[in-house]
Structures are given as C-alpha cells and as structure tokens.
Structure 1
Amino acid sequence: MVEVAFYGDDFTGSTDALAQFTRLGFRGVLLVTMPAWDELQALARQYDVIGVAGIARSLPPDEQEAEIRPILQALRNLGPRFVQYKVCSTADSSPTVGSIGRALEVGRSIFGPAVVPILIAQPDLGRYTVFSHHFAAEAGTTHRLDRQPTMSSHPATPMHESDLRVHLANQTNLQIGALHLPSYPDLPTHDTHSTYDALVLDALTDADLQSIARTILTPPTTPAFAIGSGGLSRALALALTDPPSTHDRAGMERLGHADLVDRERRDADVVLATPTGETSNYTEASPALPCDRPDLNAAASVLAPPQLTTTPPANQVLVVSGSQSPRTAEQIAHAVAAGWRSLPLTYPPAAVSDGSPAVATEAVRALNAGAPGVVVHTGEATGQATGELLGAFSKDLAAVVRQVVHTTQVRRVVVAGGDTSGRILRELGLTGLEPFPTTPSDLSHGLALCTAIAADPQLNGLHFLLKGGQIGDPNLFDSLRHI
C-alpha cells in the first residue's frame, strides 16, 4: 500500500527522489502522465511510493498552480502518510518561475494549516543548509548558493540570496521560520503550534537527516505535506522504516534484487508488475473529485509495463541535451574524446522531407556507422529559452529520440537538462518509469537509471537516465555503455 506520494517539479529530480526510496527497499513507480483515478488506486495497492514527474519548475505561478493543484489533490486522496513536493537541491525558483512559495500556498490549501517542513539540503549531492543559509558544491569546492558559479548565473532562476528564509519570503506572504542544527539534539516531534507556516530545516550530514526523520517527520495527522529535495525523500524513507544501509541485502530483497549486492548475477531478470484492475475498497479522504482536470484523468488509460527478461543491449547510447551547465559541457567533451559524435541542434532546425530534424538522420547515420554514442545538444541556444522556444527545442529533441530508437539498436537514452527533460518525455508519450536495479558504484548520487513504460513498443522497456545539469561524473555518458 502506498506510503509516500510525491510530485517532482522537474523530471530529473523526480527520478532522484524515486531512487532515494528504492535504495532503501521501497517499491516505487514514477508517472509521466496522470492515469485515471481507478488506475491510480490500483497502483497505490501495488507500490510503496508513487511519484508524478512534472514541469512546474519552468512555469509561471498561475500555470504552475494549474499543473500541481489537481495532482496534489489526487495524491492526497490516495491516503499516503506523506506527500512531498519535490524541488531541486539548489532551490531553483523565483517569484515568477517555479515558485516554491506558490507550491507552499497550494499545499497548505489542500493539506491544511499544519506547519510545512522545507528541507532543501541533500548531503549526498554536496548540498547543505546551515543556519538557513544554503551551500552547493561545484568542481570540488563548496560555495554559498549565491556565489556558486552555476546557480549564481542560472539562465532561468539565478540565485542572489543564500538565506532560504529570505529567498522563499520573496515568493509568498506566508511566514517562513527555521530550525537550526544546534537545536537538533532537543528537537520536538512535529510542531503543529508554531507561529510560522513553514520551517526551513538545516542539514549538513546524513545523521542530520536521521534526526529529522525521528522527530519532525512524525506528523500527528496524515497525509502530511512537506517540501524538499532528494534529501527530504531520504529522510522520509528513514522515517518510515528502521533503515537498512543503502543497497544492503535486506532492503534490496524487498525489491527482489539482493543479487545485485553481491554481483552474483550481472543480468538480473526484470519483470515489472501490471495494475491488477481489482475493485477498489478505498474511501476518499474528501468529497472533492480525486483529480479536477479531465485531461489528466484521461491522459493514460493503460499502464502497461515493459516485458523484459534480460538487460537490453547497451553498447550504444544516445544523449539529447538542453542543459547549459558547465558540467554537462564537460561530459559532452569527455564523450567526444571517447569517440562519440557531437551534433548541435540549431534553431530553427534544418528538416528533412518528413519534417523531422535533419540532425536525427545524422545521428542514425553515425550510430549505424559504429559510433559508440551520439550527443545531440542545443549548445548555448537554450540559455534564455523559455515558453514557446523551450517547447520547440524539446519537441525536436524528442523527435531525435523517436527516430533513433525506431531505426537503430540503441536501447539506452540520456536526457540532460531539468527544464527540457520533462517536455521531451511528455512529447514521447511515456506513461511512467520504473527504477532499473543498479549498485551504488554504477552511478553518481542524484542519478537513477529507469525503464520506460509506454504504449509505443519501441519505447516500452527503453532505458532512460534523466540528468540534471550539475549532476554526474565527467565520464558519465560513456560509462552507461558498460552498466
């Protein structure tokens, strides 16, 4: 039965959140589109964790609310213990784009007036909050958020304030307080009597997450609402169980993948369950409709799982990227040095007779000629891209993915860029993603390899890795050929 539900404000972060739970033994699924209510209930009986990947981080406040309100209402009506609004561990947001303040307002209107914990820190990614000031590592150096090279010059949400209380107060009239590290040894349980509407929580180590899990994340009523990064996801997982160590045998046995811990079987069978369709005995938590948007209810009538018995061939990889991060540029350069082809997507793109971008044909040609991988990227073109232009880039990159997987043997795709990844997967018509079992040594923190659930048989079962701009080792792309 579902214990945690979450909405991720971008797709890359959503896969990270899901991975935080599955690494501690929870069975989870990430939905790309909202299914009909009866199917959502069936999923709630199958999975411990249900996530919905969204694009709120790239939306203005009114569009953001239209996206998140019906989804949060539906997740609330499933009756989990927690509902998380998942945000980036660098607090990417502003009063006009991806407002965490608006998400806080919407959440309180749905879940009630209890104090909302806000945990942005994620120590395993080098993201720390101390006395409410946020810090983020880059290239081996930890910077205050407003001085971190990438975030201080982010093309959509440049960060000019490291005090998260001040940063969030610019996005809402609700009162933002804080709990600081020196008070953690004496932390009370969930404080429903605070004069604040939300509390920013410090965290510097995994032990701090465990302190939060034992105290603050013990709500008197359910479902409880919280906002935060993958660090919050880990804290929630810790709050729900006597935690096994990450990827230990007990946790992985719950998923049926204890063999991965010992590496006794490299090619684990992957058989994913399908919704049972049995009659629901769930009593709704409120008389409101579970989802107020008919288009979302009708978006996915069937959640058919991929039918895989072995790991698909992964000797070639396709990367499509709208990321402007220096880390992604470094990863592209490393791949090119390993023999990959790098193909820029210009705008407006050159097209072939069927209307698809010409770069897709170039990618197919390179892969069929034996290139170990191809990166199709937007270069610096998406630096100021918003709205219609961002959508156009995403549509063209999705067309590249579709043509490549339909005409080559590529079964592993990387989508880089938090703002573009969600649009690309929605363009592809995916229904959902399930975690593909890996060990901690396979991938950097913040990354999760997933298996696609889709009606298109060429996309169904495809491996996707969604990568935020600042995430991953320099050799990430080429390393995926060997996992």
Structure 2
Amino acid sequence: MNDNELLLAFYGDDFTGSTDAMEALARSGYRTVLFLEAPSLDRLKKFEGLRCIGVAGTSRAKSPEDMEAELRPVFEKLSMSGAPLVHYKTCSTFDSSPEIGSIGRAIGVARDYFSDQVTVPLLVGAPRLGRYTLFGQHFAKMHDTVYRLDRHPVMSQHPSTPMHEADLRLHLAEQTADTIALMDIVELDGDADAVLGRYRDKLEEKPGILLFDALDEDRLKRCGRLIQDKPEGAGAFVVGSSGVEYALAAHWDELGLAAPSSEKIAPAAPVRPTDTILVVSGSASPVSRLQIERAIAAGFHGIRITPDAIEDTQGTARSELVRQAVDALAEGQSIVLYTALGPEDEAIGETRTRLKAMGFTGAEAGEFIGRSLGKLTKQIMGQAKLGRIVVAGGDTSGFVTSEMGAYGLEMIWDVSPGAPLCRVYSDDASLDGLELALKGGQLGSPDYFISVRDAGFPEPDQ
C-alpha cells in the first residue's frame, strides 16, 4: 500500500460523523483519507503516508435490512485491510432505533467478519465535542448547557430517531439480544494496571457489548489503551463515536506513533478564504436554523428549497431555484439553500405528506430528499464556478456527496469541532480539489457558515 502502515480503518454511519472521525485523527497527526466506498488496493496506492482510512456511509438513515446490504461488503473489505482495529463509527448522540440506523444490527452483522470476538467495546463519550457518558447515562452539550440525552432540546425531538432514554444500555437493548456491561467512571480511576485488571475481569464475564464511561480526556486516553491492547475476548472490532478516535490518538501519542511535524503532509494547495460559497442545508435542527439566519444576516442570499423543488427534480420549481442560485453567485453573493428553518417549520410536514403519497416513508423519504438535494447541488455546480461548498445535515450529506461524484475526502482546515473543511478527491477533473465542509445538525457555532467562507490563510502581501 505504498508504504502505508495502517493503524485503524473505520466506517461512519453518516457522512458528517465520518468527517468528524477523520478530523479527530488528522488533527492529531495521523494522515487519514475518507472514502465513499471501501477502497481497492490500487486506490490506496495513490496515497503516501496513510495511517488511517475511513468509509463514509449512510447506514444511520436506513432500515436494518438496507443497513445489512450496505455493511456486509464494507466490513468484509475492512476486516481484510490489514488495520489492527476496525471501528463502526456512530453519532456522538447515538442516533438510532430498532427501525432506523440500528446499531444493534450493525454489531450483529460485524460478528460474521470478526467471529472470534466475544465482547465488542462501545465508547460514545467525546469530551471535545461536549459528549459525556457517566454511569451509562449519556449527556450532550448544546451551546453552553449540558443536557441528559432524553432531555436534550434537539435529540429528544429528533424527527427520525428521538432519544427517550439516556441510559445507552437500555437504548441499545432494544436493538440487540447481546448482554451489555459497563466499565464505569470509578472503575476507570486509579493505577493503569489496576484499571486493566478490572477490564479483564469484565471480559471474563463474556458480555456481548461493554460500554465505557467517558467524562474527561484522561479517562478517555485510558479507554484508548484498553481498546488498543485487545485483551483476550475483546478483538479488533469496536463501536462508538469519534471518542474512539480521540481515545486511540491520545494513546498512540504516548507510544510515539504520530508523524513528526516535519513529515506531515500539507494540502496540495494553500487554503485561502473565498468570497462566495454555496451552502445546501437539509437539516431541521435549531442549531442549523440559527446558522442559516446568522449567515443571511451577514449577507448570504437565502433561498428556500420548496417541497415542489424536492418532489419534482426536473420541474419548473427546480429550474427556477437553480436560476436564482446561479444568478446570485454570478453577482458575488454566497448562497444558503435550505429545506427548513428548525424542527417546527411547516415545510417538513408538507414534504413528508407529499413523499408519503409518492410511496416514500421513513428512511426511504430521507434518502429521496438527500439525493434530490445532491442533484440540485450538481446542477448548480454545472452552471456556476464554485471552489467551496457546505452541506448541512448528517443524513443529507451522504446522499449529496455521493450524487456529486466524489470518491474521497481529506481534512485541510479545522473550522469547528466535528465539521472540518475537506479536499475532495474525484476521478472527475472538474470536481477534484473542490473544498467541501459537511456539518451535522447539532454541530458548529452560530457563525459556522461564515467561518467556512473565511477559512484559510490570507493572501500574502504582494
């Protein structure tokens, strides 16, 4: 693999979560490329110095049956990649249900490819993102307040997978028959050898899944050591948020595995601020609403993507929307296209009603919307010169990116935790090198879209 010595291979259950995992590794000095499908050896040979690879997926938005169809070929390839650890990356708010994005089903499928593994480690907390697990209960920060997951303003009202239970063991138990044990915050305290002994005692009980508490960076690093060392019973497969990447990277740093700064590979071209960007939002999150409103107040041209434009991908409404966007971009304005302003937007119900009449419900409706927005983005790109794009919405991002024709992404600028700016790799020369940021609904500051537009080093003085 062209001198690539892999430390980790991961699959992300949505695209924004996948870039989050890539960021956690890249900012720690481990070159990581995120692919849109499991890469062949020939594809990997095009890159130098890879330490980690990821595959960005869309399983979080799919039924268990569709998840299985997507995951089997990916798990097969990643299990044969040579990486000592394979990670199924979930959202840090554990978005899932028995019907959509079932993490339990993903674990069940993985057992066919990691058949000797008895216990699957599960780590969801990611303190850098404001995600904490304490005695099995999960908490998530929004703005300046930390909420228990079942009382979180966004996740308790999520349109697809509302979280009504903060105990991750109880939530996951609805998706799997595996027994679920806990390595709690007290058991992670003390001498490192004592912690390892407690971990081995847990494994002796042979639980199907072992959840780790995560409150701070020190305990997170201890989790990384336990996951990396893989005592008997805990194998190469691990599940959880980008907390897994942060935990492993902290442990790898102690082992001296990061590349020296002099050897880190810089972007092929310098990153510069730009005057105009295109933002496409399929997110109904109140966080995204605030970001849209802040961008429009700062001079972005806002255009609502109507249910007509979503439903009829070749109709008059779609053509008019594309014309408006292209004209505004030609005038030097940044654009923000959006399907909804927050979870109470009436357009959400109208769109669902229309798609239901077309035969689309649940995960199918989400995929239809995402692919519709992807086609819209591609139409605009075909008529306007764009160097930088933002896609908002975890489920939306995957379908939009795949419709665009990219095969890989690599982080080039740390804009906001969990939502970096990336370089696009594509066999299409017109797309290769595009700068793309993918943002989950709950991520980013109110000024996120403005920050993406302004990201980069200023032009040097002439």
Shorter-normalised TM range: 0.7 to 0.9
The alignment status of 1:326 with 2:286, answered yes or no, reads yes
Q: Given the alignment of the two structures, is residue 433 of structure 1 paired with residue 437 of structure 2, yes or no?
A: no
Q: Deviations over 1:70-123 (max 9, x none)?
A: 101100101211100000000000011101111111222211333111001111
Instruction: Tell me the secondary structure at the aligned position of residue 348 of structure 1.
Output: helix
Number of aligned residue pairs: 425
Q: What is the aligned-residue RMSD (CA, Å)?
A: 2.4
Distance 1:316 1:18 in 2: 26
- Pair 239,40 (structure 1): closer, same or farther in 2 beyond 3 Å: farther
Partner of 2:242: 230
Contact 2:421 2:452 in 1 (8 A): no
Which residue of structure 2 lines up, in the alignment, with residue 63 of structure 1?
66
1:368 is matched with which residue: 306, 310, 330? Answer: 330
Q: CA separation in 2, counterparts of 1:216 and 1:390?
A: 34
Q: Percent of counterpart pairs with the same letter?
A: 39
As a proportion of its length, which structure holds more helix?
2
Q: Which aligned segments of 4 or more residues in structure 1 are displaced greater than 3 angstroms?
A: 40-46, 189-192, 220-223, 250-254, 309-313, 350-357, 380-389
Alignment match, 2:357 = none
- 1:397 Cα deviation from its structure 2 partner: 1.8
Which amino acid letter does the alignment assign opposite residue 251 of structure 2? A
Secondary structure at the residue paired with 1:111? Answer: coil
Give the counterpart letter for 1:330 in structure 2: L
Asked if 1 retains the 8 angstrom alpha-carbon contact of 2:378 and 2:403, the reply is no
Q: 1:454 to 1:85 in 2, by over 3 A?
A: same
Q: 1:320 to 1:251 in 2, by over 3 A?
A: farther
The CA distance in 2 between the partners of 1:197 and 1:22, in whole Å, is 31
The CA distance in 1 between the partners of 2:409 and 2:46, in whole Å, is 13
1:151 and 2:162 equivalent? no
Counterpart contact for 2:33–2:410, Cα < 8 Å: yes
Partner AA of 2:322 in structure 1: A
Q: Per the alignment, do residues 353 and 98 of structure 1 end up closer, same or farther by CA in structure 2, a change over 3 Å counting? A: closer
The alpha-carbon deviation at position 348 of structure 1 amounts to 2.6
Q: Pick one of 118, 121, 128 that aligns with 1:124.
A: 128
One of 236, 256, 259 as aligned partner of 2:265: 256
Secondary structure of the equivalent of 2:307?
coil
Cα distance in 2 for residues equivalent to 1:82 and 1:325: 33
**Is 2:20 the counterpart of 1:16?**
yes
Distance 1:382-1:394 versus aligned 2 partners, 3 A rule: farther
1:206 aligned residue (193, 217, 231): 217
Distance 1:256 1:455, change over 3 A: closer
* Structure 1 residues 352 and 75, CA gap change in structure 2 (3 angstroms): closer
8 Å Cα contact 2:225/2:248 also seen in 1: no
Which ranges in structure 2 are unaligned for 5 or more consecutive residues? 353-360, 456-462
- The one-letter amino acid of 1:74's match is K
Cα deviation digits, residues 203-239 of structure 1 (max 9, x gap): 0111111111233431147961100101111112223
* C-alpha contact 1:28 1:47 (8 A) present in aligned 2: yes
Q: Within 2, Cα distance between the matches of 1:179 and 1:208?
A: 11
Matches within 5 A, 1:291-370: 309-311=269-271, 314-349=274-309, 357-370=319-332
* Kept in 2: contact 1:360–1:399 (CA 8 A): no
Partner of 1:448: 420
- Tell me by how many angstroms 1:131 deviates: 0.1
> Does residue 99 of structure 2 align to residue 96 of structure 1?
yes
Do 1:25 and 1:253's aligned partners in 2 also have CA atoms closer than 8 Å? no
Per-residue CA deviation, residues 432-483 of structure 1 (Å, 9 max, x unaligned), is 11111x35xxx22111111111122222111110000010010111122221
Query: Which residue of 444, 464, 472 maps to 2:436?
Result: 464
Rounded to whole Å, the distance in 1 between the matches of 2:89 and 2:69 is 17
How far apart, CA to CA, are the structure 2 residues paired with 1:411 and 1:94? 37
One-letter amino acid matched to 1:458? S
User: For each residue in 1:277-303, what CA deviation from the matched residue of structure 2 results, as whole angstroms up to 9, or x when unmatched?
Assistant: xxxxxxxxxxxxxxxxxxxxxxxxxxx
How far is 1:399 from its partner? 2.8
Match of residue 187 from structure 1: 195
CA distance in 1, matches of 2:374, 2:160: 22
Alignment check: 8 A CA contact 1:356 1:399 kept? no
Secondary structure of 2:367's counterpart equals helix
Counterpart residue type for residue 195 of structure 2: L
Shift of 1:179: 0.5
Residue identity matched to 1:195: K
Deviations 1:43-94 (A, max 9, x none): 6975110100000000111110111121011001012111000000000000
State the distance in 2 between where 1:319 and 1:187 align: 46
> Relative to structure 1, is the Cα distance of residues 165 and 400 closer, same or farther in structure 2, using a 3 angstrom cutoff?
same
